Amino acid sequence: LRKTCGIVTRLHRYEMYRWADQINWDAVDSLILVSEAKRREFNARFPQHTSKVVVIPEAVSLDRFEQKIKPFSGDIGILCHLRPRKRVYELILAFYELTQEED
């Protein structure tokens, strides 16, 4: 498929060991990790992609960020395993509600 937008992804601990070697990191624009330890590990394994890594520690206070209300542009994306514990059905319903706000 032709790339039409930026690709941002994240790696959890187990994914670093199981799937990281299967990713086309050249196609990824930014990678989110949850710790400096994971950054060091990723950088050691994929040194040519170190500039793409951003660390967002778990349990960051939302008070650190200013909320900016923007009109819904119609662009929504998700990347996840389609398993019941991920609550994808609720996400589909939320996407539907967002599309109704546009009408």
**pLDDT class of 44 with cuts at 50, 70, 90:** very high
Taking the C-alpha atoms of residue 46 and residue 20, their distance in angstroms, rounded to an integer, is: 9
pTM of the predicted protein model:
0.57
pLDDT greater at residue 83 or residue 40 = 40
**pLDDT class of 48 with cuts at 50, 70, 90:** very high
